[in-house]
């Protein structure tokens, strides 16, 4: 009994892999050949376009991107050094690190009316807790040797700053925006406590 169907072709043609299948028409062969050529051309075209884009990007676009002001600002913001922020009246032993922005920040000016407000808003940060060797407000034993030198010396150290054996007093307590008269009023308020 002779074999029928596809298997019969395999047994009828033992050298089948090396021969063309008689059921594949010349049109099909022509289509596969043209399709292969077109596919090869498309892949070659895509590779050439990719290479051209890389070349143009390397020689033209990189220069324009690096000169772009927004890109330069973004780079400066990402590479800026962190700043340390100390909060007045709180434990500053574990300072928070916050990024420094090169963008202009809105500055709010605080205006003080008298020495009490200056003490509460500026001086109390150090003199309230005794930070950096600052004598605590209300500690008469710590203030007595300083008061003995005279108010003019206290005023001078408060306005111009002072480095002593016990600690450091920055000029105007770091608030250079406050007038000399208000700093002197804050000194009077502290020694009265």
Answer yes or no: do 148 and 161 share one domain.
Answer: yes
Answer yes or no: do 56 and 78 share one domain.
Answer: no
Answer yes or no: do 50 and 86 share one domain.
Answer: no
Residue 20 three-state SS? coil
d(CA 176, CA 183): 10
Number of domains in the chain: 3
Answer yes or no: do 51 and 82 share one domain.
Answer: no
d(CA 153, CA 184): 11
Which residues form the domain of 91? 69-104
Answer yes or no: do 174 and 122 share one domain.
Answer: yes
170 falls within a domain: yes
Answer yes or no: do 17 and 80 share one domain.
Answer: no
163 falls within a domain: yes
1 falls within a domain: no
Is the pLDDT assigned to residue 92 strictly greater than 60? yes
Answer yes or no: do 58 and 74 share one domain.
Answer: no
Q: What is the CATH number of the domain that holds 165?
A: 1.10.760.10
Is the pLDDT assigned to residue 62 strictly greater than 60? yes
Distances (CA, A) of 48 to 2, 43, 68, 127: 56, 9, 29, 72
Is the pLDDT assigned to residue 1 strictly greater than 50? no
109 falls within a domain: no
List pLDDT tens digits, range 13-38: 555 554 555 676 788 888 889 999 99
* Residue whose C-alpha is closest to residue 157's, from 146, 142, 143, 144: 146
List pLDDT tens digits, range 124-141: 878 877 777 788 888 888
Question: Two tokens at 177?
Answer: 């925006």
- Of 154 and 166, the one with more pLDDT: 154
102 contacts 139 by C-beta, under 8 angstroms:
no
Answer yes or no: do 132 and 121 share one domain.
Answer: yes
* 169 DSSP β-pair partners: 162
Answer yes or no: do 26 and 95 share one domain.
Answer: no
d(CA 35, CA 31): 6
Confidence of residue 191 (pLDDT cuts 50, 70, 90): confident
Question: Two tokens at 4?
Answer: 């029928």
Is the pLDDT assigned to residue 103 strictly greater than 80? no
110 falls within a domain: no
Q: Write down the pTM of the prediction.
A: 0.44
Is the pLDDT assigned to residue 114 strictly greater than 50? yes
Answer yes or no: do 137 and 147 share one domain.
Answer: yes
Domain's final residue, options 50, 80, 104: 104
């Amino acid at each position: 009994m002779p074999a029928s169907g596809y298997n019969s072709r395999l047994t009828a043609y033992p050298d089948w892999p090396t021969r063309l299948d008689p059921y594949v028409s010349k049109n099909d062969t022509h289509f596969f050949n043209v399709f292969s050529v077109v596919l090869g051309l498309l892949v070659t075209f895509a590779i050439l376009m990719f290479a051209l884009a890389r070349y143009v990007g390397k020689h033209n676009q990189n220069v324009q991107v690096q000169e772009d002001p927004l890109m330069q600002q973004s780079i400066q913001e990402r590479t800026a050094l962190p700043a340390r922020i100390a909060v007045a009246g709180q434990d500053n032993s574990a300072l928070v690190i916050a990024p420094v922005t090169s963008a202009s920040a809105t500055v709010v000016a605080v205006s003080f009316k008298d020495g009490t407000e200056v003490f509460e808003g500026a001086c109390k940060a150090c003199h309230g807790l005794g930070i950096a060797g600052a004598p605590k407000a209300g500690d008469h034993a710590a203030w007595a040797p300083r008061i003995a030198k005279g108010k003019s010396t206290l005023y001078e150290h408060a306005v111009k700053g002072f480095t002593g054996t016990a600690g450091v007093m920055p000029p105007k307590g770091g608030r250079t925006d406050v007038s000399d008269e208000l700093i002197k009023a804050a000194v009077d308020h502290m020694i009265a406590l």
